[in-house]
Amino acid sequence: MNDAQAVLRRFLMARMYRHWKVNRSRSHAKRILKQLFEVFLAEPELLPPNWQLGGDGAGGVKTARRVCDYIAGMTDDYAIDEHKRLFNLDR
CA pseudo-torsion sign 19, 25, 28, 32? negative
How many residues make up the chain in this entry? Answer: 91
Contact between residue 72 and residue 33 where contact means Cβ atoms under 8 Å apart: no
pLDDT tens per residue across span 3-24: 899 999 999 888 888 888 989 9
pLDDT tens per residue across span 40-79: 999 999 999 999 999 999 999 999 999 999 999 999 999 9
The number of helices, as runs of H, and strands, as runs of E, in the chain is: 5, 0
DSSP 3-state of 12: helix
State if pTM tops 0.85. no
C-alpha 70/C-alpha 79 separation (Å) is 10
**Kindly report the CA angle at 32 between 56 and 79, in degrees rounded to 5?**
80
Instruction: Assess whether pLDDT exceeds 70 at residue 91.
Output: no
pLDDT score for 5: 93
